[in-house]
Structure 1
Amino acid sequence: MKLRKEKKAHTHTKFMNLTIRKKLISSFLLVAILFGVASFISFHNLKQTNDSYSYLVGNVSEVRSISQNIDTLISNQASDLNAYLLFQDEAFIGDLNTNNREIIRLIDQAKELSDSEQTLSYLDQLTTLNNIYLSEAERAINISRSMLDHGIRVASENVVPISREMREVSEALTSYEGEMLATTQAATNQSAQNATILVVIVSGLAFILAITSGIFVSNLIAKPIIQLSALAKQVASGDLSIKRLNIKSKDEIHELNESFNQMTDNLREMISSIQTNSEQVAASSEQLNASANESAKATDQITESIQSVASGAEQQAESTASANDTANEISAGVEQIARNIFSVSEATSTAQQKSNNGLEIVEKTVTQMNAIHNQTNATTTVISNLEEKSSEIGSIISLITTVSDQTNLLALNAAIEAARAGEHGRGFAVVADEVRKLAEQSHKSAGQISTLIQDIQNDIQRSVSSMAEGSNTVQQGLVYATEAGKEFKEISVSINEISAQVDEVSVAVQQIAMGTMNMLESIKEASAIADNASSYSQNVAAAAEEQTATMQEISASAEMLSRMAEELQETVRKFTL
């Protein structure tokens, strides 16, 4: 029993240490759990009731309806057999077989719907009796085809009792399913009633627990707040002699209580301090009034000095502005020089590049001129050799001309001798004539070749002269190209020197520009300082004038402060420490 009380006290203390938010959440969570349990029970019982009702409507009622249909089919197939025996129409046999198969189908359907042993027993009996009925009916039909009376008797003795028994089983099944339907419906109604009662009980318990939890939590929260409210009213009335309230919980109310106690202590200390300081303020206000009068006199003197300083600051600002304009002009000139130097540097770089390109072209030209000079000399040598060869060819042509003349003369002499020989020299005369003709052609061709050789020699002479002139010209061009290369090299050296000097000038100009910019910045700073000094002087002068007025106001305020200190002392006396 003692252990249970200690455990309960520990649980209560643990709950007290929770924050208000956690206390509220715990209470609402408890209520939510209770209503969740009630909802689950309601859902579970409702599901059971729904399942029972579904079984009742979907299975038992369906099996009962099937049983009634089977009973109807039993009567129909009995009527079909009687009609066949009466009218001997084969169509009735087809109807009988159709009804018999339909009975089997309905029996199978009912077996799938029901799990009751009694229902399955009735259905098995119907299956057996239906098969026997069909067999006996076929036997009676076969007998009636040859002996109608005997067939009718067999049907009456064997088939009709089976049909009657089938109907009894079918009716028993229908009755059993009806009883089962009523029993299941009663059980379902009872289950629904029990579920309703259980839901009402659980909901009532949940409601009672929710109310109890709400009252418990509200008491935990409201009681210390009411106590704090009463203490706050006492403090509001000026009673600071109240006792400290000690709340054992560790929630926000505990923090509020600690803050309230701290506030009370601080307020008590503040009132005590105000009471002490108000007396000091009353004494100090009189001293302040005297000091304010003396400060007003000193402020008048400061105002006169500041006005003199402001006048000098304005003159300095004007001089600085003039220097600033001059520095701006110098800076603009230096920037223009820097731009010009940059343009010169770019032009020098371009000239240097062009000079290098020209030097390369001259060197290539000298190389080509040397090659042309060498080729010209070689061509001159070849032409000289050609001239010698043409002279030799001319000598050979002269020899050929001489030989052709002699051959022509010999041919003429041979023709004369052949004519003297008469008939025997005719053949030789023909040969001599042909030789003469060849000699004349050779002489003629040699003359033409001699003319051509002479023309070639003339052309060779002119070529030799031209080659000599060309060689001289190439030699002179080579000299000029060499001199041009030397000039380009000197130009390149000069441009390099100019470029170096331009770079030095550019660096110097940049340094000058930087110095000018620094000087300009310094002048701007000096100008700004002068402007600020002038402005500050004017502001100080104005402030001094305002201070004079302020000192007068301070004097008046000191008197008012003295009166307020007395009123504050009267107010503090209302508090009980």
Structure 2
Amino acid sequence: MKLKTKLILGFMIVAIVLGAVNLLSFFYLNHLNDNYQNLIKGPIEERRITQEIGELVAEQSSNLRGFLVTGEKEMIEQLRTLNAKTSELVNQLKESENMTNEVEATISDIAIMNESFLKGAEDVLLIFESNENLAIMQANYFTIPLGGTILEKTKSLIEFTENILAKSIEESNHNVASIIMLNIIILGAALIIAIITAIFISAKVTKPINHLTSIAEQVADGNLSVERVTIKGRDEIAKLGDSFNKMIDNLAMLITRVVDNSQQLATSSEQLSTSAEETTRASEHIVHSVESIASGAEQQSTLSQDNVIATREISENIQSLADSSLIITNKAEQSIEFTNEGSELINQTVENMKAISRSRLDSFVS
């Protein structure tokens, strides 16, 4: 796996964990929002309707009293309108999802009492036309007390809805606390996973680099017999280790060649010294021969044939000396060339080792 792939994989793990955290948070927040929506549509709405029913019943009683005082039939018309609206609200309460048997019975009682209140008000209206006092007695002893009973029923419903509302709020607060705690736990786990992933990737990257740096420092100090770098994997660092091993092997071969060239240079120098000694002896022999020729010219006049032979030998020796000098010159030039090549290779090797030592981590970071 390449180093780039390892880094991308590490970041993807962290991103997946954070994405899971956000997804869970979104889920629980939606759940919490649903609870609040149900709270608004449920107990709060039921409490509002119940309060409105109580207010409408109180207005009906007020209109009935107003009619008994003023005798205006418009009061009865308003009472009928209020009674019809009260019936609609009671029907809405019957559709509630939080109903118990007791609550259902209470709502049914309110519905029946509301109808009875309207019937009582109609009776009061009929009696009022013939006997006002009897109508007032009918209203005070039957119809108006019935409205009070309805108000008591609505108060009990309000208490019930308030209890449900309190429980719903408590449950919602508990859910909020649970969501907060769960988010803290998940975020903590995500942080731990991110730290472990970072440490793991860092160890996978820095450990082979530190090993490679240690080997490079030894090579820079001139130790080419160090243990070769062993980095498992197929990433860029492993390839760098293989290239570094090849470089060490090439440096070792280069040093071996330099040593061999130095040995050849030493051998050539010895041969050059031997040839120089031979040349010196040949020169001395030539001088001696010339002196012998000069001193014995008169004596050897009769031996011209021998002189010709001696002169020929001298020429051959001079030619041999010239050939030896040429060979010595060529070997000296070759030795100088080998020496220069070895020096350049050694200098280049030293510069390469220094460059490796200086840029051992820079190449990876860049």
TM-score, normalised relative to structure 1: 0.45
- Following TM superposition, by how much is the alpha carbon of 1:564 offset from its aligned partner in structure 2, in angstroms? 3.0
Q: 1:229 to 1:122 in 2, by over 3 A?
A: farther
What do the CA deviations read for 1:518-541 (whole angstroms, capped 9, x no partner)? xxxxxxxxxxxxxxxxxxxxxxxx
1:102, 1:570 → 2: CA distance?
109
1:78 and 1:163 in contact (8 A); partners too: yes
Aligned to 1:6: none
Q: Is 1:224 aligned to residue 189 of structure 2?
A: no
Distance in 2 (alpha carbons) for counterparts of 1:573 and 1:70: 101
- Secondary structure of the 1:247 match is coil
CA distance in 2, matches of 1:61, 1:204: 37
Matched, 1:255 2:243: no
Rg (Cα) greater in structure: 1
* Paired residues of 2:60 and 2:83 also in contact (CA < 8 A): yes
The Cα of 1:163 is off from its aligned counterpart by 1.1
In the alignment, is the contact (CA less than 8 A) between 1:81 and 1:137 conserved in 2?
Answer: yes
> Which of 47, 71, 77 in structure 2 is aligned with 1:94?
77
Q: Distance in 2 between matches of 1:569 and 1:190?
A: 79
The answer as to whether partners of 2:90 and 2:107 remain within 8 angstroms in 1 is yes
1:231-290 CA-partner distances (Å, limit 9, x unpaired): 11222222211111222333332222222112211222233234445777997xxxxxxx
Q: Is structure 2 residue 219 aligned with structure 1 residue 239?
A: no
Query: By how many angstroms is 1:204 displaced?
Result: 0.5
- Determine which of 99, 103, 115 is the counterpart of 1:117: 99
Aligned match of 1:371: none
Q: 1:193 aligns with which of 177, 202, 210?
A: 177
How far does residue 37 in structure 1 lie from its aligned partner after superposition?
A: 2.1
Question: How is 1:474-553 mapped onto 2 (pairs within 5 angstroms)?
Answer: none
Matched, 1:135 2:119: yes
Aligned to 1:52: 35
Q: 1:563 deviation in Å?
A: 6.6
1:177 alignment partner in structure 2: 161
Would you say the 8 A contact 2:44–2:161 is kept in 1? yes
**Residue segments in structure 2 that go unaligned for 5+ positions in a row:** 269-332, 352-366
* CA-CA distance at 1:63 after TM superposition: 2.2
Partner letter of residue 215 of structure 2?
L
Rounded to whole Å, the distance in 1 between the matches of 2:166 and 2:187 is: 31
**Distance 1:567-1:24 versus aligned 2 partners, 3 A rule:** closer
Contact 2:42–2:97 (CA under 8 A) maintained in structure 1: no
- Quick one: structure 1 residues 46 and 97, their matched pair in 2 at CA, closer, same or farther if it must change by over 3 Å? same
Report the Cα offset of residue 135 of structure 1.
Answer: 1.6
Alpha-carbon offset, residue 97 of structure 1: 0.8
Residue of structure 2 equivalent to 1:62? 45
Q: Is the 8 A contact 1:281 1:565 kept in 2?
A: no
Paired amino acid for 2:188? G
**Code of the aligned partner of 2:36:** Y
Q: CA RMSD in A?
A: 3.0
In the alignment, the residues of structure 2 paired with residue 243 and residue 572 of structure 1 have an alpha-carbon distance, to the nearest angstrom, of 23
What is the identity percentage for the equivalent residue pairs of Structure 1 and Structure 2?
31
1:572 CA displacement: 9.3
Q: Does 1:267 align with 2:251?
A: yes
2 CA distance for matches of 1:247 and 1:562? 38
Question: What is the alpha-carbon distance in structure 2 between the residues aligned to residue 251 and residue 148 of structure 1?
Answer: 107
Alignment-derived partner of residue 470 in structure 1: none
- Give distance in 1, aligned partners of 2:345 and 2:165: 97
Which of 44, 53, 56 aligns to 1:73? It is: 56
| Residue identity opposite 1:211 in structure 2 | I
Aligned match of 2:306 = none
Cα deviation per residue 1:22-77 (whole Å; 9 max; x = unaligned)? 32223222222222222222222222222222232344223212221211111110
Partner secondary structure for residue 82 of structure 1 = helix
Q: Specify the code of the residue in structure 1 equivalent to 2:98.
A: S
Q: What is the Cα deviation at residue 164 of structure 1?
A: 1.8
CA separation of 1:45 and 1:137: change in aligned 2, threshold 3 A: same
Q: 2:61 touches 2:147 (CA, 8 Å); kept in 1?
A: yes
Residue of structure 2 aligned with 1:564, choices 331, 340, 345 = 340
Equivalent residue, structure 1, for 2:133: 149
Give how far 1:562 is off: 7.0
Is the contact between residue 265 and residue 339 of structure 2 (CA under 8 Å) also seen in structure 1? no
8 Å Cα contact 2:110/2:153 also seen in 1 = yes
CA contact (8 A) 2:261 2:338 kept: no
Which residue type is aligned with residue 134 of structure 2?
H
Q: Secondary structure of the equivalent of 2:233?
A: coil
Q: Distance in 1 between matches of 2:239 and 2:346?
A: 34
Letter in 2 for 1:24: L
Compared with structure 1, are the counterparts of its residues 566 and 71 closer, same or farther at alpha carbon in structure 2 (3 Å cutoff)? Answer: closer
User: How far apart in 1 are the matches of 2:346 and 2:130?
Assistant: 144
Query: CA offsets per residue over residues 172-208 of structure 1, 9 Å max, x none?
Result: 1111222222221111111101110110011001101
Q: 2:76–2:121: 8 Å Cα contact kept in structure 1?
A: no
Of 166, 181, 203 in structure 1, the residue corresponding to residue 187 of structure 2 is 203
Give unpaired runs (5+ residues) of structure 1. 1-17, 284-556
1:27 aligns with 2:10: yes
Higher helix share: 1
3-state SS in 2 of match to 1:128: helix
User: 8 Å contact 2:25–2:179 — kept in the other structure?
Assistant: yes
- The amino acid that maps onto 1:28 is F
Partner deviation per Cα, 1:434-459 (whole Å, 9 max, x = no partner):
xxxxxxxxxxxxxxxxxxxxxxxxxx
* Matching residue's letter, 1:62: E
- Calculate the TM-score normalised by the size of structure 2: 0.69
Maintained 8 Å contact 1:278/1:569:
no
The verdict on how the C-alpha distance between 1:187 and 1:258 changes in structure 2, with shifts beyond 3 A counting, is: same
1:528 maps to none
Deviation at 1:226, TM superposition (A): 0.5
* Alpha-carbon distance in 1 for matches of 2:154, 2:345: 113
Deviations 1:72-127 (A, max 9, x none): 11111011112212322111111101111221233344455x31114555433322
